[in-house]
Copies of this chain bind each other. A is one copy, B any other.
Amino acid sequence: MRLALLAAALLVPLAAAAAETRIPDRALEQAASLRERALADDTAWQVTESLTTEIGPRIAGSEADARAVAWAVAKFRELGFDKVWTEPVTFPKWERRSESAAVVGNNAQPLALTALGGSPGGTVEAEIVRFPDLAALEAAPEGSLAGRIAFVDYQMPASRDGSGYGPGSAIRSRGPSLAIRKGAIGFLMRSAGTDNHRVPHTGITRFDEGLTPVPSAALSIPDADQLARLAARGPVKVRMALDCGWDGEYTSQNVIGEITGRSRPKEVVLLGAHLDSWDLGTGAIDDASGIGITMAAARLVGQMPKRPARSIRVVAYANEEQGLLGGRAYAEKHAGEIALHQLSAESDFGAGRIYAFNTSGPEHAQAATRQIAEALAPLGIVHAPGEGSPGPDIIPLSAKGAAWAWLAQDGTDYFNLHHTADDTLDKVDPEALKQNVATWAVFAWLAAEAEGDFGSRPGPMPKPGN
């Protein structure tokens, strides 16, 4: 996932004149039994196990991407969704083929690194110049990196809400272009992660227009430690050899399953997650667990004694990792249906327990937001007014005016695994997954039963910061 912090402006009340939105007592009563059913249901685990085991890594544009799409169509059907369809998403395809690096010279030794998504291939051998953070690289004199490899050695901190990822991911997105402007022929960074294993963290980067891209990679955290120790002793030369790059276009699919609403079927509560993963791990916490949670939650709502008033739409987005391509395509295609998207949310911050809830709803939807939060309280969840942000694939939709909900997962351990080979099924706690499903099911049910709206209306919303 890519983390977007919410501009405070997004929370400004939108339409003071609207009637107050309320959730009927009967729906609230039914939410309690739905919650208990969800806590005993292992569908999310089964789905997560199936996707990670049968498909495995599924980087956008790969052969496994196509298998994942077919898998998702079949899984929605198997789970009893009323409608299942796909919507095409076209994007340039990036491939990793091989990568290696080593310190050369008196302290010769291999280094564990991984190319950043979007990096060109190439082999460079040069002295490194170490910078403690992005500001230090930014302050380097023009031309000072001529013929050198820049090494940005910033350690991101762990935090429950993932806020430490901001500066870490900024190095990944902005570092390579900054380094090129100073003359660098290669770019290395300490992985944006919080573990201490030899599993480097990949993630997309971009090169500014007009620059010639250079090989760009992330070192595992122990390798960054090692390079820092060597650099403290004197000049260090590194050889990095990346075989990777962009290779044509590919068309994948957003895969969508819907539980059709009984009385207002065109109005939808959208539950999102992304189907693609990076190629290094099997994408268990990023984001097979999100697929499992949302599919399982919608299925449980579909098994209520009566269908919800509105439709529950689960979107398994294509290619989130390389720039929200699925989320953008969905927003474009459904740009004329913003007001029908009552509330949209994405599960894309791992498989940890949910601890907070909020919506972007304006004043007239605050009471309904509080009602949902009260129904979630027995799951250990607090209402967090004024906080939150849309999940990554929801950003393009919310930028067009769609209201969003925030189901905040505990991400303390998320960046131990994020975008690494270590993102595998054994890291998922089945009990935490059930708590997630219960949360999403109750949320979806109540949002679909609410009388009145949550503030979605066409027209530009202030763009969320990132």
Contact = CB atoms under 8 A, between A and B. Distances in A.
A226 B110 contact: no
A108 interface: yes
B107 A421 contact: no
Given A222-B424, A424-B226, A107 B56 contact: yes
A68 B63 CA distance: 45
Residue among A107, A282, A424, A425 with most chain B CB within 10 A: A424
A103 B54 CA distance: 11
A277 B394 CA distance: 49
Contacts of A197: 197, 199, 422
A426 interface: yes
A281 interface: yes
Report the 3 A-B pairs with minimum CB-CB distance, sorted nearest first. A56-B109, A198-B421, A222-B424
Given A56-B109, A426-B222, A199 B196 contact: no
A53 B422 contact: no
Interface in A189-207: 196-199
Contact of A54 (B56, B107, B199): B107
Given A108-B63, A421-B112, A426-B222, A53 B198 contact: no
Contact of A222 (B64, B221, B422): B422
Contacts of A49: 229
Interface residues of A, number: 35
A437 to B, nearest CB: 21
Interface of A: 49, 53-57, 63-64, 103, 106-110, 112, 196-199, 221-222, 225-226, 229-230, 233, 281-282, 420-422, 424-427
Contacts of A109: 55-57, 64, 282
A281 B110 CA distance: 9
B53 A229 contact: yes
B281 A198 contact: yes
A225 B49 CA distance: 11
Given A199-B199, A229-B49, A57 B110 contact: yes
A64 B196 CA distance: 24
15 contacts: A49-B229, A53-B226, A53-B233, A54-B106, A54-B233, A55-B107, A55-B109, A56-B108, A196-B426, A197-B199, A198-B281, A198-B421, A198-B422, A221-B426, A222-B424
A195 to B, nearest CB: 9
A65 to B, nearest CB: 12
Contacts of A425: 222, 225-226, 229
Given A197-B197, A226-B425, 17 more contacts: A49-B229, A53-B107, A53-B229, A53-B230, A54-B107, A56-B103, A56-B109, A56-B110, A57-B109, A63-B108, A112-B421, A197-B422, A198-B420, A198-B424, A199-B199, A222-B422, A222-B424
A198 B196 contact: no
Contacts of A196: 426-427
A426 B225 contact: yes
Contact of A108 (B64, B103, B112): B64
Nearest to A228: B53
A57 B427 CA distance: 29
A427 B221 CA distance: 12
A56 B198 CA distance: 14
